[in-house]
Amino acid sequence: MTDDLGEPVTLAAPARAVVSLVPSLTDAIETSRPGLVAGATDYCTHPASLDVPRVGGSKYPRVDDVLALHPDLVVANAEENRPDDVERIRADGVPVWVTAAAATVPEGLGSVRRLLTQGLNIAEPGWLVEAEELWRDVPPVRATAIVPVWRRPWVVLGRDTFAGDVLRRLGVANAYAEDPDRYPRPPLEALRATEFDLVVLPDEPYEFTADDGPEAFPGKRCVLVSGRHLTWCGPSLVEAHAALSRAL
């Protein structure tokens, strides 16, 4: 088999113990086959029943702790995890399946399908089929938004991002969708001068709140949303469609 980046992944037998370095993949794997995840990051909060050893953060996992769990497979993401950590795990003889940084919802769900059905030999889960149906359509644009994901400095969604496509499939265009960078860092003055109807503020990776974020955009409608609903490609996409629609 090969992962999303074309790297070979060789398993002598179907994996029975997986360490996940990506919160959304942890949710997808454990929801689809409970008990398969043997280790996860500190940020893997779903499913709520998950009770496994923690191996640190996605960007800086404790590789020695990962290896100590003797996994059959480690799953990672090209955007969330560092290549050096992936290579060190592989150098110790542990296969790693790396998913690509998806630019659209269908692309992300297709990547997860390959991991589950081909990489982990799991039958196609019902949540995946439901999510594909929910997110299939692209309605007309009814609003334009800026979407900060960090402040100090300000960072916003730019071109070809999964979260940007989530919003577009709800009728909300990204004001920075044509920016050459995937995550532009415009100064606040430039952000305020952009043409937009609303500000979408997720609670991760930066935890925007009613008291931290909206005050920077006086006179503009600010919407607080779940970062999990906006950025995770997994079972949360089923509930995300209705939840985000209500919020927006």
pLDDT band at 129, cuts 50/70/90? very high
The answer to whether residues 159 and 239 belong to one domain is yes
Q: Give CA–CA dist 210/92, Å, rounded.
A: 46
In a domain, 110, yes or no: no
The answer to whether residues 149 and 236 belong to one domain is yes
Across the range 130-155, mean pLDDT stands at: 97
Instruction: DSSP letter for 216, please.
Output: G
The answer to whether residues 162 and 85 belong to one domain is no
Q: What pLDDT is recorded for position 171?
A: 98
In a domain, 113, yes or no: no
Per-residue pLDDT reduced to its tens digit, 160-169:
999 999 999 9
Per-residue pLDDT reduced to its tens digit, 33-59:
999 999 999 999 999 999 999 999 989
Strands 96-99 and 73-77: parallel
The answer to whether residues 96 and 162 belong to one domain is no
Strands 96-99 and 143-146: unpaired
In a domain, 187, yes or no: yes
pLDDT band at 26, cuts 50/70/90? very high
Domain boundary among 53, 78, 103: 103
Q: Residue 91's Cα: distance from chain center in Å? A: 26
Q: Give CA–CA dist 110/100, Å, rounded.
A: 11
Q: What pLDDT is recorded for position 61?
A: 96
Contact by Cβ (8 Å): 137, 115: no
The answer to whether residues 23 and 77 belong to one domain is yes
Q: What pLDDT is recorded for position 159?
A: 96
From residue 104, alpha-carbon distances to 111, 159, 168 in Å are 11, 11, 10
Up-side HSE of residue 160: CA atoms within 13 Å toward CB?
9
Strands 73-77 and 172-174: unpaired
Domain boundary among 103, 134, 169: 103
In a domain, 127, yes or no: no
Q: What are phi and psi of 197, to 5 degrees?
A: -100, -30
In a domain, 157, yes or no: yes
pLDDT band at 91, cuts 50/70/90? very high
Cα angle value 101/47/199 (rounded, 5°): 55
Across the range 75-102, mean pLDDT stands at: 96
Give residue for tokens 């430039």.
190
- The number of domains in the chain is 2
pLDDT band at 125, cuts 50/70/90? very high
Domain boundary among 103, 127, 157: 103
Residue type, 98: V
In a domain, 94, yes or no: yes
The answer to whether residues 86 and 169 belong to one domain is no
Q: What pLDDT is recorded for position 152?
A: 92
Kindly report the average pLDDT of the chain as a whole number: 96
Q: What pLDDT is recorded for position 222?
A: 97
Find the domain containing 211 and state its range. 143-247
From residue 205, alpha-carbon distances to 43, 149, 189, 201, 237 in Å are 10, 6, 22, 10, 18
Q: What pLDDT is recorded for position 130?
A: 97
The answer to whether residues 92 and 148 belong to one domain is no
Q: What pLDDT is recorded for position 51?
A: 96
Q: What pLDDT is recorded for position 24?
A: 97
From residue 172, alpha-carbon distances to 22, 104, 124, 198 in Å are 27, 14, 30, 9
CATH (domain of 49): 3.40.50.1980
From residue 84, alpha-carbon distances to 20, 63, 100, 149 in Å are 16, 10, 16, 25
Across the range 131-156, mean pLDDT stands at: 97
Q: Give CA–CA dist 157/180, Å, rounded.
A: 11
The answer to whether residues 78 and 150 belong to one domain is no
The answer to whether residues 158 and 207 belong to one domain is yes
Q: What pLDDT is recorded for position 30?
A: 97
